Structure 1
Amino acid sequence: MTQTLRLNVEGMTCASCTARVERALRAQPGVTAASANFATGAVTADFDAPADPAVLAEAVRSAGYGVTVETARLDVDGMTCASCTGRVERTLMAQPGVLAAEVNLATKGATVRYAAGVTSPTELAMAVGKAGYEARPSADSAPEARLDRAAAEIARLRRDFYLSAVLSLPVVVLAMGPHMYPPMHHWIAATIGETTSWLIQMVLTALVLIFPGRRFLTIGIPALLKGVPEMNSLVAIGALAGFAYSSVATLAPSLLPEHARAVYFEAAAVIVTLILLGRLLEARAKGQAGEAIKRLVGLRPETATVERPGGSVVIPITELRPGDIVLLSPGERVAADGVVTDGETWIDESMLTGEPAPVAKRPGDPVTGGTVNGTSALSFRVTAVGADTVLSRIVRMVEDAQGGKLPVQALVDRITRWFVPVVMTLSAITFLLWLALGPAPSITNALVAAISVLIIACPCAMGLATPVSILVGTGRGAELGLLYRRGDALQRLAETGIVAFDKTGTLTEGTPRVTAIACADGMDEARVLTLAASVEARSEHPLARAITAEAGSRGLMLLKPARVAATPGKGLTAEVEGTRVVVGNRAMLVAEGIDPAALAARATALAEEAMTPVFVALDGKAVAILGISDPVKPGARVAIEALHGMGLKTAMISGDMRATADAVARSLGIDRVVAEVLPEGKVAALATLREDASTLAFVGDGINDAPALASSDVGLAIGTGTDVAIESAEVVLMTGDPGAVSDAIRLSRATMRNIRQNLFWAFGYNVVLIPVAAGVLYPLNGLLLSPMLAAGAMALSSVFVVTNALRLRRAGPWRGAAS
């Protein structure tokens, strides 16, 4: 059985790194697919036996990268002997991503080491619970730990940058000062002397390389020795080459021609400093790119007030269990998902739907963890905690989408796999050409040009171009109530040519009501409605609920039906007090051998008024027709107009009779209508519509439209709160407003446009500046790029890509702007 493992990997600094990690995983027996993401620092692998999480984690480590391992501590009750601890250990070791588990009978605790992102302390505790023991996390450490690691990495980069800058400053002053202020040359010669100046520069540069610059050496050199050089290898070679050459000129000048005795310590030191600065800015920017996840995680309160036999107590939310009754004060955040048991209030659910209007809640209504209570107190019964809550599922969805790859990334991956070896080859060719053809001092110029080629090349920008835009775009989508389950949905949605809607519950309110009743001569309306409602009370169909609701509003007493039979997509038959009753559409009557002609004209008239006609037949004769209308959502017409304004075609698929569907379509301005479609016929209807467009998106309620959502190029499930069917679509629209469809497409297009900008910059930068670093302009204007300038340009290239992607944080909200 195929499993999926997600690992957080440390040390990936460019696209070459991701390719190396992917190759290491794919080489393991049992691995069927592997995808690494530089921007999120994560890798996902699909595997079967004999592969297991521990083996895959070790494969990543063997490739030269670290696997982020988290430690969870569980409190376990019910263990009484060593066999208990063995059972708990085996249970924990069987969980995906668990690398080691130790259970202590004396302390009643378990310590579990697991691959970050694969599981969570809450899920581990639940697994132990299923084994027959009571377990709870000693401390919740899932999303917060990832945020803490990112903050710790920024702190390390900041420390290394400051140290490198302090050590490099005297080197730059001693090396460049005489060029910028000639009297300084005489001052150095008269005081410490040139040789001492070089020795000071050598010592300070060595400290830069050994301490703040060691990250480049400890990763880059082993990668080079293994034959898989990457970004750190380029920096390490460039800095070490400059340092080694300068050290020879300082300590053994006789080994070099007199005209070539020059030092470049400042280049080696400043290269490290500038690249550390670039990485610091990049890390901070990537931290801003992940702000959506931070804000989502921050929505969860730390404690909750729970009813206990002795009164209310405040407990950490990690100790909440399904069934607990939580007391919610005015203005307080909901601690977990649940159902209101007492009180009425308004709750701000904008974190779910992106809609600012609060939602009324009363007993029986669902509440979602992370939402904010209004001005009234209430209590609710907990139904889901930990990873099972809507908020946790949203966080996982966003993280999964951010870790995905777009089809366009495949080309980038193929290029970056060979990028670093090609750059090293170009650097060697540059050195040899300058050495053979360049003016004196040829060896010095050759070294400067070769180092500049190594340093200015930037696979980081190419590796970041796509994933960082996905990171920001999907995060912004979460803030707007647009949840992309997979990153590749962004690209397909941006390419959509036609958008097809399901009618009921998507374009309409989904709460039909009876608005007209026409009976044959001599029939009693109340009697007909009573019989029809008595039969429809056995159905959960929205039209059936409308009929029973109408009977209830008139105070009619329903009767007990017998031998109820349902025909999907058509209607029901039953016997009520000796009368055979048939309720359904025209096809139902025909199937039962009943002639609907007497009511056909009235049915057509109701349909042309956008009402769905429901026939009622008693003892084989059509006696009445009920007109049921489902109000169109207020924003539906605006949504269709917005899609037309974007150059898209629209379609509607409905089970209603043709006249009803056409009437709704006319009122909304929809281009094409496929009517009288049974639930199982929606997939075939989509195939017909796809003939008009290369990419088709289908919008449904995500529950009964699952086959159509799955068969479309991009499925969008529209719903609200906890009712949304997350598994049925690639994009989940948390609001019930169909206008969110155009928002999702706009955001997809904005993200793809941003990706194209990033790719243009990343490839254009390298295509233009690598030849400049090699000295192609030297014959024209005598310009030979300094390695220091090359380092600055390389650092700024990555920062540019990330900064450009951050502009997506300001995308939308389009509907709000329009209104």
Structure 2
Amino acid sequence: MTQTSSSRIHLTLDGMTCAGCVSRAEKALSSVPGIGPVQVNLANRRATIDPGTATTPAMQAALQQAGYPAVEDDIRLDIDGMTCAGCARRVQDALAAVPGVTAAEVNFAARTAQLRVLDGMATADDLVAAAERAGYPATPHVEDTGQRSADEVDTARRSMLIALALTAPIFLLEMTGHVVPAVHHWIAATIGMETSWTIQAVLATAVLVFPGRDFYRLGLPRLIRGEPDMNTLVALGSGAAWIFSTFALLAPGLLPDGTRAVYYEAAAVIVTLILTGRWLEARARGRTGAAIRRLIALRPDTALVDTPDGPEERPVARLRVGDVLVVPPGRSLAADGQVTAGESYIDESMITGEPAPVLRGPGDTVVGGTVNGSGTLRVRVAQVGADTVLSRIVAMVEEAQGAHLPIQALADRVVRIFVPAVLGVAALTWVAWMLLAPAPALPHALVAAISVLIIACPCAMGLATPTSIMVGTGRAAELGVLFRKGAALEGLAGIRAIAFDKTGTLTEGRPTLTTLRPLGDADGGDENRVLALAAALERSSDHPIGRAIVAAAEARGLTLPEATDEEALPGYGLSARIDGQAILLGARRLMTREGITLPEIPDSGADTPVWLAVDGRIAGYLAVSDPIKPDAARAVAALRAEGLEVAMITGDAEGPARAIADRLGITRVAAEVLPGDKRDAVRRLREELGPVAFAGDGINDAPALAEADVGLAMGTGTDIAVEAADVVMVSGAVAGAVNAVHVARRTLVNIRQNLFWAFAYNTALIPVAAGVLYPLTGTLLSPMLAAGAMALSSVFVLSNALRLRALAPALAETATTPGRATAPKEVTP
């Protein structure tokens, strides 16, 4: 979308195919209140609009409802200078106000902003400028390699150490004298109290001017603009202590009798303790992104590329699609590709979550970042850079980590009014002490008001949700579970039922021939002959059963005869002529229709039987089965132990579906369900039981994945299924569903703990800081203790969130097939 000098804008529209689309798009835009003239061009799919007073979200909503959404881009920024949740809110408001922005989310813990903008209207430069006008430097997002976090920690540590070095003498001069009277007398008898106060004044001023300057540089201008934040509270608290102390030192006559005292130690210690808290916070926050950095670190910097002159070491950034890599044992793969030569076991644990190495050979797909085992491979590069599976996983996890959960809405509303409310409480505290306290009231009022300002900072509230999301989704990625949408965490934690597709989800999705039995005397004496005839009919079939029969014949190295007069018999099977004989292959009902008598053969229920007849006489019995995934039964049992109702919704026949369900302990089964009906089945399940998740892997599962409260896709399934899902289980193991629910529930518990601590802590300590306990104890909360308590609150929240890093999987995954596993599909954020 672009904007001209005459304020007309141009939107690129999606989905327009005819003149009727043009009319409907124009009508939709013209219905937006306040909009000017609208003209839509089919040739270039652009709408030229005079927006008038219409808002960007209103125009986009009208177009989406009409089915012709304006093309949107995703832009991600790194934001500096945020010190509390109020900062994040102000940045978000500033970015959301930029014309062309349809959605803006700022993550205080990750220091990032995730934005959706109409194509071309809002550029990254426009958004950076908007953030900087709000007082927060911004840059286009770069992958978190750890350097940014390390720089932030180094800066915070340096400021803290300088402040500590300057504050220690102040603390010793002032506070030691209060604790040990002899020290007070010694100072008075040697350098004198005036000199002691002067030394404290010089050192405290240095603390505020140098390591503490950001509190004033950022906090006071925001107070003037009517947008106070944490920096404002610290600046007012420490500044008030410094100003009062300076008057006491230089102009004591301006103070009431009996109120002369200095609080330089309070001003300096407040700043030092808060800087210490920020250093601890920066260290902890750096660890919240450790999962992302470990994923990025999997990519090697260089790769061996096969050239006519032999292997050549080349930077990964210079790799191109089609290059052939030489991957020696123990080396990481530099890009996604296909094995052209060699065979080796590859450790894919950091991508799939499965601990067991899997065998890869010629024709197999391999993923960049995985580690080669004992053999040398040659791999033809298929994807590089941002197109690789690893890069897509990183992007997906980063997007999920930046999400806002519904549970965070309460904290956001409180933070929006919290700082102004604290300023009001501090002012009332001052007034109350001045009016009601015994003489000397001024020092007491000063201490109480400063303590209120310092202890009430809402940092912990702002960190409570995003830090848990970052650590939880990062840990899930390490377990092979990718949350494509952060909100899926809360949704999955609240489900009451989970429904599975059968084929490819609970089963391997690769039917195999399990039974081959010659029958009668019509070419039925030879297994190979029966299999060759069946495979000859199925050779051109794309049905999974047909492919299983052909694969079995190929595995035996059979030569297939030529079939003629082939005819598909829908719902029954196939017919053809081979070597002059009439061949029938199909279900029991085909043989019954043709009057062919069949022997009684025990049926496991899970197998799909196929009968072969030659010239009207039965010749063979074949059975094809789709093996149950090794971890499916344990996963179903674990989900039921979690209190979830487990169901199966499948398009397969009733018999095999019931047999698989019985083996897995699933009692709710909906079989022979069409794709659209799967969606309806999910709705019925929700109406009966409450929020429901659905897990599937195929194109036909997409409607159900989209309909479910949370959709879980197998990473080994189709791209369409992955795109429709909220969560991707990369390896395709059913245990991934158990681990996804486990991580979601533990993360939500962690968030609730953090929010409770942040709210309860601030709520309880503000009255204490204001002095409600003074009538009982005769003491006030020191501003120094208030600063320490405030820092402790944020550190507690971060430390609690970091416990999720050690979260063990609820159910260990089992490799889907011994020795060789299906490579994960590419996932798209």
Q: Give the one of 80, 83, 88 matched to 1:18.
A: 88
| 2:818 matched residue in structure 1 | none
| CA–CA separation in structure 2 for the residues paired with 1:586 and 1:684 | 31
Contact 2:303 2:313 (C-alpha < 8 Å) held by counterparts: yes
Q: Give the one of 127, 141, 151 matched to 1:116.
A: 141
- Unaligned regions of 5+ residues in structure 1, if any? 69-114, 118-141
Secondary structure of 2:306's aligned partner: strand
- Farther-moved stretch of structure 1 (542-551 vs 406-415): 542-551
Is 1:557 the counterpart of 2:560 in the alignment?
yes
Structure 1 residues 739 and 427: CA distance shift in structure 2, 3 A: same
For residues 305-704 of structure 1, what are the structure 2 equivalents within 5 Å?
305-516=304-515, 533-553=535-555, 555-559=558-562, 595=593, 606=603, 609-614=605-610, 626-701=622-697, 704=700
Contact 2:215 2:232 (C-alpha < 8 Å) held by counterparts: yes
| 2:758 matched residue in structure 1 | 762
Secondary structure of 1:44's aligned partner: strand
Shift of 1:285: 0.8
Contact 1:508 1:632 (C-alpha < 8 Å) held by counterparts: yes
- Farther-moved stretch of structure 1 (574-583 vs 53-62): 574-583
| 1:41 matched residue in structure 2 | 111
Q: TM (normalized to structure 2)?
A: 0.83
Q: Give the one of 55, 63, 82 matched to 2:134.
A: 63
Contact 1:531 1:559 (C-alpha < 8 Å) held by counterparts: no
- Farther-moved stretch of structure 1 (14-23 vs 547-556): 547-556
Secondary structure of 2:673's aligned partner: coil
Aligned partner letter, 2:329:
P
- The one-character-per-residue Cα deviations of 1:592-639 (angstroms, maximum 9, x if unpaired) are xx9489789969x63x52112457799999998753211212221111
Aligned partner letter, 1:628:
V
Structure 1 residues 219 and 721: CA distance shift in structure 2, 3 A: farther
Structure 1 residues 488 and 615: CA distance shift in structure 2, 3 A: farther
Secondary structure of 1:470's aligned partner: helix
Secondary structure of 1:507's aligned partner: coil
Aligned partner letter, 2:214:
R
- Farther-moved stretch of structure 1 (529-538 vs 479-488): 529-538
Structure 1 residues 574 and 222: CA distance shift in structure 2, 3 A: farther
Shift of 1:540: 3.2
| 2:26 matched residue in structure 1 | none
Shift of 1:264: 0.8
| 1:167 matched residue in structure 2 | 166
Aligned partner letter, 1:44:
Q
Shift of 1:544: 2.3
- Farther-moved stretch of structure 1 (24-33 vs 361-370): 24-33
| CA–CA separation in structure 1 for the residues paired with 2:464 and 2:597 | 64
Is 1:792 the counterpart of 2:788 in the alignment?
yes
| 2:11 matched residue in structure 1 | none
Aligned partner letter, 1:33:
A
Structure 1 residues 252 and 479: CA distance shift in structure 2, 3 A: same
| CA–CA separation in structure 2 for the residues paired with 1:206 and 1:769 | 28
Structure 1 residues 582 and 23: CA distance shift in structure 2, 3 A: farther
Contact 2:565 2:577 (C-alpha < 8 Å) held by counterparts: yes
- The one-character-per-residue Cα deviations of 1:450-490 (angstroms, maximum 9, x if unpaired) are 11001001311011111101111111111111211121111
| Identity over aligned pairs, percent | 53
Shift of 1:64: 0.8
Aligned partner letter, 2:539:
A
- The one-character-per-residue Cα deviations of 1:521-550 (angstroms, maximum 9, x if unpaired) are 886568886565445333433222112223
Structure 1 residues 660 and 448: CA distance shift in structure 2, 3 A: same
Structure 1 residues 522 and 490: CA distance shift in structure 2, 3 A: same
| 2:711 matched residue in structure 1 | 715
Structure 1 residues 202 and 615: CA distance shift in structure 2, 3 A: farther
Structure 1 residues 767 and 584: CA distance shift in structure 2, 3 A: farther
| CA–CA separation in structure 1 for the residues paired with 2:275 and 2:388 | 40
| CA–CA separation in structure 2 for the residues paired with 1:561 and 1:430 | 97
Shift of 1:341: 1.4
Structure 1 residues 238 and 616: CA distance shift in structure 2, 3 A: farther
For residues 24-423 of structure 1, what are the structure 2 equivalents within 5 Å?
24-48=94-118, 50-68=121-139, 115-117=140-142, 142-144=143-145, 147-423=146-422
| CA–CA separation in structure 2 for the residues paired with 1:308 and 1:551 | 39
Shift of 1:707: 2.7
Structure 1 residues 421 and 798: CA distance shift in structure 2, 3 A: same
Aligned partner letter, 2:649:
I
Structure 1 residues 622 and 710: CA distance shift in structure 2, 3 A: farther
Shift of 1:691: 2.5
Secondary structure of 1:500's aligned partner: strand
Structure 1 residues 565 and 60: CA distance shift in structure 2, 3 A: farther
Structure 1 residues 614 and 640: CA distance shift in structure 2, 3 A: same
- The one-character-per-residue Cα deviations of 1:233-257 (angstroms, maximum 9, x if unpaired) are 1111111111111111111111111
Contact 1:595 1:622 (C-alpha < 8 Å) held by counterparts: no
- Unaligned regions of 5+ residues in structure 2, if any? 1-70, 816-829
Aligned partner letter, 1:796:
L
Contact 1:368 1:390 (C-alpha < 8 Å) held by counterparts: yes
Shift of 1:749: 0.8
Aligned partner letter, 1:644:
R
Corresponding pairs, count: 739
| 2:731 matched residue in structure 1 | 735
Contact 1:662 1:673 (C-alpha < 8 Å) held by counterparts: yes
- The one-character-per-residue Cα deviations of 1:559-607 (angstroms, maximum 9, x if unpaired) are 366787797xx687686679998877789x79xxx9489789969x63x
Contact 1:330 1:375 (C-alpha < 8 Å) held by counterparts: yes
Secondary structure of 1:458's aligned partner: coil
Structure 1 residues 564 and 31: CA distance shift in structure 2, 3 A: farther
Contact 2:476 2:482 (C-alpha < 8 Å) held by counterparts: yes
Secondary structure of 1:483's aligned partner: strand
Contact 1:702 1:709 (C-alpha < 8 Å) held by counterparts: no
Is 1:775 the counterpart of 2:777 in the alignment?
no
Contact 1:354 1:480 (C-alpha < 8 Å) held by counterparts: yes
RMSD value over aligned CA atoms? 3.0
Secondary structure of 1:380's aligned partner: strand
| CA–CA separation in structure 1 for the residues paired with 2:208 and 2:598 | 89
Aligned partner letter, 1:209:
L
Structure 1 residues 432 and 513: CA distance shift in structure 2, 3 A: same
Contact 1:492 1:713 (C-alpha < 8 Å) held by counterparts: yes
Structure 1 residues 226 and 561: CA distance shift in structure 2, 3 A: farther
| CA–CA separation in structure 1 for the residues paired with 2:299 and 2:517 | 54
Contact 1:535 1:561 (C-alpha < 8 Å) held by counterparts: no
Structure 1 residues 309 and 549: CA distance shift in structure 2, 3 A: closer
Aligned partner letter, 2:116:
D
Aligned partner letter, 1:116:
H
- Farther-moved stretch of structure 1 (33-42 vs 218-227): 218-227
Secondary structure of 1:705's aligned partner: helix
| CA–CA separation in structure 1 for the residues paired with 2:263 and 2:586 | 88
Structure 1 residues 296 and 187: CA distance shift in structure 2, 3 A: same
Q: Give the one of 729, 744, 747 matched to 2:743.
A: 747
| CA–CA separation in structure 1 for the residues paired with 2:669 and 2:598 | 22
Contact 1:274 1:791 (C-alpha < 8 Å) held by counterparts: yes
